[in-house]
Chains A and B, each alone.
Chain A
Amino acid sequence: MATKRQRFLRILIPYFYLSPSIIFLILFTYWPVINSVYLSLFRHSVLNPIPIFTWLGNYESILKEEIFPTVLKNTLIYAIGTIPFTMFLAFSLAVLINEKIGWLRNIYRVSMFYPTMIPMAAAGMLAVWLFNPGIGLVNYYLGKLGLKGPQWLYSMEWALPAIMITAIWKNFGYFMILFLAGLQNINKELYESSELEGAGFFQKLRFITIPLLGPTTVFVIIVGVITSFQVFDLVHIMTQGGPADQTNVIVYFIYQYAFRFWDIGKASALTVLFLIGLLTFIIMLVRNIERKVHYEV
Chain B
Amino acid sequence: MKFKLTNIKNYFKRNLHRLAIHLLLTSVGILTVVPYFWSLSTSLKRREDVFTTPPRWFPIPPTIENYLEVFKLAPFGIYLVNTIIVVLGILLLQIFMATTAAYAFSRLNFKGKNFLFILFLIQMMLPVHAIIVPNYLMIKNLGVLNTRIAMMLPFFATGYGTFLLRQAFKQVPRDFEDAALIDGCSSPQIIINVLMPMAKATYVAFSLISIVTHWNDFFWPLVVTDTPQVRTLTVGLAMFVQQESGADWTLLMAATIFVTAPLLILFIVYQRKFIESFMSAGLKG
Q: Which positions in A face B, CB cutoff 8 Å?
A: 11, 13-15, 17-18, 20-25, 27-33, 35-36, 39, 93, 96-97, 99, 101, 104, 106-122, 125-127, 129-130, 132, 135, 137, 140, 169, 173-174, 177-178, 180-182, 184-185, 201, 216, 219, 226, 230, 232-233, 236-237, 251, 254-255, 258-259, 264, 267-268, 271, 274-275, 278-279, 282
Contacts and interface: CB of A to CB of B under 8 A. Distances in A.
A230 B278 contact: no
Nearest to B212: A117
26 contacts: A14-B113, A15-B104, A18-B105, A22-B157, A30-B119, A33-B126, A39-B137, A101-B18, A104-B25, A111-B32, A116-B278, A119-B217, A120-B218, A126-B39, A129-B39, A135-B51, A173-B32, A178-B278, A180-B279, A184-B279, A185-B283, A226-B125, A230-B129, A254-B133, A264-B137, A268-B133
Give the one of B218, B233, B237 with max A CB within 10 A: B218
Interface in B14-69: 17-18, 21-22, 24-26, 28-30, 32-36, 38-39, 42, 50-51, 53-55
A25 B260 contact: no
B263 A117 contact: yes
User: By DSSP majority rule, is chain B's interface helix, strand, loop, or mixed?
Assistant: helix
B35 A130 contact: yes
Nearest to B257: A122
A259 B50 CA distance: 36
Interface of B: 17-18, 21-22, 24-26, 28-30, 32-36, 38-39, 42, 50-51, 53-55, 96-98, 100-101, 103-105, 108-110, 113, 116, 119-120, 123, 125-138, 153-154, 156-159, 162, 187, 212, 215-219, 222-223, 233-235, 237-238, 241, 249, 252-253, 255-256, 259-260, 263-264, 267-268, 271-272, 274-275, 278-280, 282-283, 285
Given A15-B110, A116-B212, A237-B241, A201 B17 contact: yes
Contacts, number: 266
Contacts of A185: 283
A28 B138 contact: yes
Contact of A33 (B18, B34, B131, B278): B131
Contacts of B252: 125, 129
A112 B137 CA distance: 39
Contacts of A109: 271, 275
Given A101-B21, A119-B259, A182-B283, A31 B28 contact: no
B130 A230 contact: yes
Contacts of A135: 50-51, 249
Contacts of B259: 119, 121-122
A184 B238 CA distance: 40
Contacts of A117: 212, 216, 260, 263-264, 267, 274
A32 B97 contact: no
Given A32-B138, A118-B216, A271-B131, A125 B285 contact: no
Given A119-B218, A122-B256, A17 B104 contact: yes
A146 B242 CA distance: 34
Contact of B285 (A97, A219, A232, A233): A219
A18 B212 CA distance: 26
B136 A258 contact: yes
Given A21-B97, A126-B39, A271-B130, A99 B21 contact: yes
Contacts of B212: 116-117
A36 B256 contact: no
A169 B134 contact: no
Contacts of B32: 111-112, 114-115, 169, 173
Contacts of B267: 110, 114, 117
Contact of B138 (A15, A27, A236): A27
Given A17-B100, A106-B272, A108-B25, 17 more contacts: A13-B187, A14-B104, A17-B108, A21-B98, A31-B138, A99-B18, A112-B32, A113-B278, A117-B264, A119-B217, A169-B32, A233-B218, A233-B234, A236-B219, A236-B238, A237-B238, A251-B132
Contacts of A181: 279-280, 282-283
Contacts of B132: 251, 254-255, 258, 271
Contacts of A174: 278
User: 3 closest Cβ contacts across the A-B interface?
Assistant: A32-B134, A24-B157, A119-B216
A41 to B, nearest CB: 13
A111 B237 contact: no
Given A21-B120, A96-B24, A126-B36, A39 B216 contact: no
A112 B280 contact: no
Contacts of A36: 131, 133-134
Given A106-B271, A109-B275, A169-B35, A29 B157 contact: yes
B164 to A, nearest CB: 14
Nearest to A269: B133
Given A11-B110, A28-B157, A125-B256, A219 B282 contact: yes
B101 A178 contact: no
